[in-house]
Chain A
Amino acid sequence: MDFELNDDQLAVTSELEKLAGQFATSPVDFHGFALASPELEQQLEDNGFFELATMEGMGPITAALAVERLAKLPYTAEIALSMLVRPALNMELPRPFAVVENSRPGRFVATAKTVLVIDGDNVSVAHPSADQVESLPDSLFAYPMAKLKSDVELTALSAEEADTVKTWLRIANACEMAGLLQAAIDATVEHVSVRKQFGRPLGTFQALRHRLSECTVLAGGVRWLALKAAWSGDAGEAAMALLHGQESALRVVYDMHQMSGAMGMTLEMDLHLWTYRLKALLSDLGGRGGQAQAVAQYCFDAA
C-alpha cells in the first residue's frame, strides 16, 4: 500500500490547486445558496480534468482526489458525476450529468445533458430538453436544483449497468462529502480561532476542541473510505464510504453551525455552502438506511 500521491498524481493535483485557487473566495456580495460557477466548469473541461479517470496512470483514484479537493471550494459545478460516474459507464454520454431519484428534485438537472433516472432498482438515462426541466431557485440546498417533468423519454439500463451507476454514484458522493466535511470544519476552525468570548478565543475551550477533533476524525475516515472505494470500485466499499459520509454529515453539520454561533446562521460566512450541500447528499440512494442495506448485501452477504 502507498498512501501518498505518485509523481503523476502530484503533478495533476498541483495543476488542480492552481485552478482551484481562482475560485477559493466567494464574492462579497453573494448572499445566496447555490453558488455555481460555469467558469470553474469550463476551466475543468478545457484542461481535461473530466477525463482523469480514463487517463493512463491516473484512474478513478486521481479523479476522486480531484472531486474531494474541488468540493472544498465555495463555488460548485457538476463535477463528481462527470469525473466518477460517467467514466464507469461504457457509453458515450454527454456531460453535464445529473441524477433524479424517485422523481425528486436533483442537482444540476436544469443544465444536464444526461440525467440518470433512478426509480427503485431501475436506472434509466434521459437527455431532457430545456422545456422538460423546471428550476427550483428557492431551494435551500446549495446546488442549483431542478426537477424533471414527466414527459421525458427514458432509456432503461441493464441491471448490471444500474448496479454500476449506484456503486459509482455512492463513490462520487462520498468523495464530494469528504471535501465538504473538511471545508466545513476548516471554516469553523478559523472562526473559533479568532472569535473571542470571555477574554479568549472560543477554540481554547475544551468543550469545542474535543468536538472539533471528533468531527475531524469522522471527516478523515470518510476521505479514506471514499478514496479506497474509488481505487477498488467495490460495491460494498462504496456503500460503506457513503454511509460513513452521510452518518458523519449529520453530526458535523450540526456541530459546525453550533460552534459558529450566529455567524454560522448568516449567509455572510460560507459555512452554509458546504453544510447545505452535505444536506443535499444525505438522501441519495435511500439515505443511511439505503446504504446500510447495501453494506449488508455486499459485505455481510445478507440481502
Chain B
Amino acid sequence: MDFAWTDEQKAFRATVRQFLQDNLPDNWEHIAHGPASKEQTTFAKTFCGKLAEQGLLVPHWPEEWGGRNVDPWIAFILAEEMWMAGEPRGGQYMNVNWIGPTMMLYGSDEQKQQHIPPMARGETLWCQGFSEPESGSDLASLRTKADKDGNGYRINGQKIWTSYAGDADTCFCLARTNPGKNGISIFLIPMDTPGITVRDIPSIIGEGDIHEVFFDDVVVPETARLGDEGQAWEIVGKALSLERVGIPRFALASTTLRKAVELLKAEGRFGLGAVDQAAKAHAACEAARLYSYSIIDQRAKGRIPGPEASVGRFATVNCERMVADFVVEHVPEAISGQHPMLLAHHQRGIVAGIASGAAEIQLNLIATQYLELPREPR
C-alpha cells in the first residue's frame, strides 16, 4: 500500500496546471457561472480544441482514435484538474469519459468514423437522452418508441431534464423497440433532425442546463442504432460504470472550500463555527478523494470496480453537500452572485445526488452488493 504519486504523474499534473493557467482567461470565473450556459458552452469548444492540439483532451483513448493510451491514473489526474478549475470542458466531459469509449466498444465502423474524430478534436457536444417524464431512476420503464419504418425507425416520445440539449449536436438516445427491459435500443440522433423540439427548463442549477426534448415522427436510418436492437441495457450499464467514478466532483468541492476559507480568513471571519464546519467538510472531501483513487487503482490494474464505485460516489455526494452548505452558511454573498465560482459549485452541489444515477440507487447497490443484505421484496 502506497499513496505516493509517481514522477510521471506529478509531471503530468504540472503540465495540465500550466495549460490551464495559460488558457483560462482572466474573466473565467464569470464565464463559469453556469455549467451549461451559452457562454461556457461556446468557450468549451475553443478550449477543448486547444486541449486536443496539446494531446490533453483524450489522452486515455487508444492511439487509433487520437489518444495515447495513458493509464487511468493520468486520465483521472486530468479530470481532477479540470474539475478543480471549474470544468472548462463544459458538457464535452461526457464525450471524453463515456460516450467516446462506449462508441469504441459498441459502434459500427461507420459510426466510429463519423462520431469519434469530432469528439477527439473537441468540436462536438452531445446530450444524453435517458430520463423521461415517467422514467427517471426507473429507466427500464421508458416509453419513447422507435418503430421500424422501412429501412429505419420512426421515433416518438419525450425526454426530460436533458443536460446540454439546447446546444448539443447529437443525442445519445434510448428508445423502446420492444416491450420490457431488453426491448430498449440506443440511437445516435443529430439534434437538427426534423421532428426534434428542444425546450429549455428554467432551473436552480443555472442557465441552459436542463431541457425537455420532444421527438415527433423523427425518422432515423437503421445505421443510427448503436449496437443491436435491445442491447441498450447492457451498453448503458457499461457506460454508467465509466461515468460513475469518472467525475471527480470532490475536486471542485475541495477547491471551493479552500476559496471560501481564504475569503473568510482575509476578512477575519474564519471563526469557531466556520472552522468546525470547514474541517469536517475538508475531511469528507479527502475521504471521497481516497475512495475515488482506490477505484482508479482497480481500473489501472485492469479490474472492473464493483460496488465500491457506489460507496465512492455516495462519499462524493456527502462532501459536495457539506461544502455547498458551508458556503451558504458562511459566505452567503456567493449565492447572490458575488463569487461566481462558489456559486457554480453550489449549483452543481445541488444535483450531486441526482445526476449519473440517484444517490438512493447507490445506497441500494451498497446494501445489496457490498453489505450483502437480503434483498427487498418486489
User: Which A residues lie at the B interface, using CB under 8 A?
Assistant: 1-6, 9, 61, 65, 185, 189, 192-193, 200-201, 203-206, 209-210, 212-214, 216-217, 220-222, 224-225, 227-228, 231-232, 237, 239-241, 243-244, 247, 288-289, 291-293, 295-296, 299-300, 302
Contact = CB atoms under 8 A, between A and B. Distances in A.
A296 B275 CA distance: 6
B272 to A, nearest CB: 8
Interface stretch (B190-198, B228-236, B359-367): B359-367
B1 A61 contact: yes
A204 B297 contact: no
B302 interface: no
11 contacts: A3-B298, A189-B372, A193-B372, A204-B374, A205-B376, A216-B370, A228-B290, A231-B1, A288-B276, A295-B278, A300-B258
B3 A291 contact: no
Contact of B290 (A209, A212, A224): A224
A227 B286 CA distance: 12
Contacts, number: 156
A214 to B, nearest CB: 7
Nearest to B261: A300
B287 A231 contact: no
Interface residues of B, number: 48
Contacts of B105: none
A222 B290 CA distance: 10
Contact of A292 (B2, B276, B288, B294): B276
A3 B298 CA distance: 8
Contacts of B272: 289
Interface of B: 1-5, 73, 258, 261, 265, 270, 272, 275-276, 278-280, 282-284, 286-288, 290-291, 293-294, 297-298, 301, 311, 314-315, 318, 360, 362-364, 366-368, 370-377
A244 B318 CA distance: 12
Contact of B287 (A210, A244, A293): A244
Contacts of A247: 280, 283
A221 B280 contact: no
Given A216-B311, A228-B3, A209 B364 contact: yes
Contact of B371 (A212, A227, A240, A291): A212
A192 B375 CA distance: 12
Nearest to A222: B287
B265 A2 contact: no
A162 to B, nearest CB: 21
Contacts of A241: 283
A200 B298 CA distance: 36
Nearest to A224: B290
A302 B311 contact: no
A114 B363 CA distance: 45
A217 B315 CA distance: 6
Contacts of B315: 217, 220-221
A9 B367 CA distance: 29
B327 to A, nearest CB: 15
A189 B1 contact: no
B280 to A, nearest CB: 6
B95 to A, nearest CB: 27
B286 A189 contact: no
A4 B280 contact: no
A301 to B, nearest CB: 8
Contacts of B293: 1, 3
B235 to A, nearest CB: 27
A288 B272 CA distance: 12
Contact of A193 (B284, B318, B373): B373
Given A3-B293, A212-B371, A231 B3 contact: yes
A296 B318 contact: no
A189 to B, nearest CB: 5
Given A220-B311, A232-B3, A244 B283 contact: yes
Given A247-B280, A295-B279, A3 B371 contact: no
Contacts of A203: 367, 373-374
Given A3-B1, A244-B287, A302-B261, 10 more contacts: A189-B372, A193-B374, A201-B373, A204-B377, A210-B360, A217-B318, A221-B290, A228-B3, A231-B3, A289-B276
A185 B368 CA distance: 15
A213 B275 contact: no
Contacts of B374: 193, 200-201, 203-204
A296 to B, nearest CB: 5
Contacts of A296: 270, 275, 278-279
B255 to A, nearest CB: 13
Contacts of B367: 203, 209-210, 212-213
A189 B283 contact: no
Nearest to A243: B283
B3 A225 contact: no
Contact of B366 (A4, A192, A216): A216
A3 B372 CA distance: 23
Contact of A221 (B5, B288, B373, B375): B288
A181 to B, nearest CB: 13
Nearest to B373: A203
Given A231-B1, A240-B283, A300 B373 contact: no
